A and B are shown apart, each in its own frame.
Chain A
Amino acid sequence: SQTIHQWPATLVQPVGSPLSLECTVEGTSNPNLYWYRQAAGRGLQLLFYSVGIGQISSEVPQNLSASRPQDRQFILSSKKLLLSDSGFYLCAWDSSFYGYTFGSGTRLTVV
């Protein structure tokens, strides 16, 4: 069966520090992978998507970047965090049969 792992679950980082969030998928190959952010009181916003290794597309200009070094690994990064980067970050993959499957999320607080 397909599973998606996301870590860490919570993270508190100072302004200006770097960020690395990791997501891995098991049980499928060449999945489409996504990073979403859910800010407090707001809906889900698509940040990045990837249809294959090394292929990254950004939906919104921001302080973040994404990489896909392996088929089932998706990483969200920042060189210098801003207060506005705080939020709940969710990784997801999709299939025509199951639709979207989301990870458990990372709660990021930038202080």
Chain B
Amino acid sequence: KQEVTQIPAALSVPEGENLVLNCSFTDSAIYNLQWFRQDPGKGLTSLLLIQSSQREQTSGRLNASLDKSSGRSTLYIAASQPGDSATYLCAVGAYAGGTSYGKLTFGQGTILTVHP
């Protein structure tokens, strides 16, 4: 059974800091890994999608890496801003055998607070 762990559970930083969120998973048989952002009371917004054949993806100030062999991914946020405050969720995707259905397993999330 796939298990996804995110460290730290919560993080509070001053504005402008570069920061790293960690995600680890137990089963390396994944087909992708996705990072999401969730604002309080809102749905999930996709930040970055990394296919299993890729090592990293970048979007603006965000960079995510994937190391399947070690079961780890990191989300790097450069020059953090108060607007980055949210819960960040890591999710790994794996196919259920014999179907086209892809099951996402989520971590518990990292609650990020960036204060001015």
Contacts and interface: CB of A to CB of B under 8 A. Distances in A.
Do A and B come from the same complex? yes
Interface of B: 32, 34, 36, 41-46, 49, 89, 91, 93, 99-104, 106-109
A100 B91 contact: yes
A36 B89 CA distance: 14
Contacts of B93: 94, 99-100
Interface size class of A (residues with CB under 8 A): 20 to 34
Contacts of A90: 43-44
B19 to A, nearest CB: 22
Contacts of A98: 46, 49
Contacts, number: 53
A107 B41 contact: yes
A104 B43 contact: yes
A53 B88 CA distance: 33
Given A34-B104, A102-B44, 13 more contacts: A43-B109, A44-B89, A44-B106, A51-B99, A88-B41, A90-B43, A90-B44, A92-B44, A99-B46, A102-B43, A103-B43, A104-B42, A105-B43
Interface string A75-92: 000000000000010101
A72 B101 CA distance: 16
Contacts of B107: 43
A102 B38 CA distance: 11
A90 B36 CA distance: 14
Contacts of B104: 34, 44, 46, 94, 100
Contacts of B42: 104-105
Nearest to A46: B103
